[in-house]
Amino acid sequence: MARRACIIAGGMCKWGVREASLVDMVQEAAKECLEDIPGLKPKDIDGFLFASSYAGRCSFQVNTAPVMAERLGLKPTSICARVDVLCAGGSTGILLAKGLVESGMADIVMVAGGEKLYTPQKWEVFYSELASIDHDWDAPHGLGLPPPFFALIAKEHMKHYGTTKEQMAWVSVTNYNYGSENPKAQFQKKLTLEEALGAPPVVPPLTLYDCCPITDGAAAVIIAEESRAKDLTDRPLVYIRGGAQASLHSVSANWPGEHLADWAHLRVAAKRAYESAGVGPEDIDVAQTHDCFSISQIIEVEELGFCKKGEGGSFIESGQTRIGGKIPLNTDGGLLSCGHPFGATGIRQAIEIMRQLQGRARFQVEGAEIGLTHNLSGLNVEHTIVIYGREPK
């Protein structure tokens, strides 16, 4: 009988500007994760994957997986490794855990991730981001700083498809208003359209509320083989049905689309993810997309197949990404409200989708049975998708 991987528990610490070390925050997240499933003990966890890209630079700790495992009281016997693909680290760790469980190499894997990004000298954070792209080619031109690059993307989308600043603002308003009731989010405030449109500029056309913040935080989930999962929880099982990752370039000069608002690599990842899960975009009931900038979510709803290319702005403006619309998105606040501690983001997304499919989300999508998470990574060079379901494939 085929082995199947399920996500059965999750937890996160408070995200934001924290007077806490990376270890402190990972311990907080893991504690909440284990409390989410009382029948599981640390000794039962035989695998550990830790997603982080800036642990060495900002926390002065390399070889982080065994360090974190020790601090969490884990003794992994199947796998203990760090995953480093920046913003996609958490979701990549979940896909790797799925493979480990379904291959029989592991039975129960904790996937944790986090970053300590704030330092006393805040300029260091932005300087460090230049290390996430090709340091010989793009970094000397400052392209590793996300706001300027995504401002170029926004201008291209506006030019080719007529997207408006107001449509981008609706992304921020919708996501912030979900996040206003999320006690773990970095920003817990409601946002009006007028506030979003009147916000200070960052890099035109992007303003303050179009951009996700720099964030300290951590999150953790448990991935278990189906029979072990049934022994550990009475909640509805949530299966990891499939997923995919595509990286078609690294240097900006080799962009895979016709222009910067054409995300061919996301289309490739989406096609493969849907095929692996045995579903299509019309089957997704709730999703978490990588809203690092408001324009990102507009393009993502297009390339994921939720609407036609070029119609993402009007799709979101018309309320189709709110509960009651075609595809509710980022119902915990997304990156714009929760923040973005790179390695933890895909894990936070997985927690929200798990809760949605189990019927225990804060803003519940009624009858949700299939959910999707998406991350882009680095200078928009990598797209990672995970698809979850109440039923196995």
Which residues are CB-neighbours of 120 under 8 A, at least 6 positions away?
Answer: none
Query: Which residue in the list 87, 211, 292, 338 is annotated as catalytic?
Result: 87
Tell me the pTM.
0.97
Which band of pLDDT confidence, cut at 50, 70 and 90, is reported for residue 140? confident
Which band of pLDDT confidence, cut at 50, 70 and 90, is reported for residue 139? confident
- Residue 87's closest CA among 380, 387, 375, 304? 375
CATH hierarchy code of domain 142-211+241-389: 3.40.47.10
Which band of pLDDT confidence, cut at 50, 70 and 90, is reported for residue 158? very high
Mean pLDDT of 249-261: 95
Of 54-63, 213-222, 285-294, 375-384, least confident by mean pLDDT is: 54-63
pLDDT of residue 130: 79
Report the C-alpha gap between 280 and 166 in whole angstroms: 30
CATH hierarchy code of domain 5-121+215-238: 3.40.47.10
pLDDT of residue 88: 97
Which of the pair, 59 or 37, is modelled with greater confidence?
37
Asked if the domains at 5-121+215-238 and 142-211+241-389 fall in one CATH topology, the answer is yes
Q: Using one digit for the tens of pLDDT, what is the confidence trace for 309-351?
A: 999 999 999 999 999 999 999 999 999 999 999 999 999 999 9
Mean pLDDT of 92-121: 95
Q: Which residue has the tokens 């890209």?
A: 53
8 Å CB contact between 109 and 222:
yes
Report the C-alpha gap between 336 and 157 in whole angstroms: 20
Query: Which residue in the list 157, 340, 374, 383 is annotated as catalytic?
Result: 340
Q: Is the dihedral of CA 229, 230, 236, 239 positive or negative?
A: positive
Percent of the chain with pLDDT strictly greater than 70: 100
pLDDT of residue 308: 98
Which band of pLDDT confidence, cut at 50, 70 and 90, is reported for residue 74? very high
Which residues are CB-neighbours of 133 under 8 A, at least 6 positions away?
Answer: 139, 143, 144, 250, 378, 379, 381
Q: Does residue 129 register a pLDDT over 90?
A: no
Report the C-alpha gap between 131 and 138 in whole angstroms: 10
Q: Does residue 1 register a pLDDT over 80?
A: no
Q: Using one digit for the tens of pLDDT, what is the confidence trace for 179-205?
A: 999 999 999 999 999 999 999 999 999
pLDDT of residue 59: 87
Q: Does residue 368 register a pLDDT over 80?
A: yes
pLDDT of residue 121: 74
Report the C-alpha gap between 273 and 278 in whole angstroms: 9
Q: Does residue 145 register a pLDDT over 90?
A: no
**Domain edges within the chain:** 5-121+215-238, 142-211+241-389
Which band of pLDDT confidence, cut at 50, 70 and 90, is reported for residue 68? very high
Q: Does residue 144 register a pLDDT over 80?
A: no
Determine whether 13 is an active site residue: no
Determine whether 80 is an active site residue: no
pLDDT of residue 331: 98
Which band of pLDDT confidence, cut at 50, 70 and 90, is reported for residue 155? very high
- Residue 286's closest CA among 229, 206, 366? 366
pLDDT of residue 127: 77
pLDDT of residue 300: 98
Mean pLDDT of 368-373: 98
Q: Using one digit for the tens of pLDDT, what is the confidence trace for 236-254?
A: 999 999 999 999 999 999 9
Q: Using one digit for the tens of pLDDT, what is the confidence trace for 16-38?
A: 999 999 999 999 999 999 999 99
Mean pLDDT of 148-175: 97
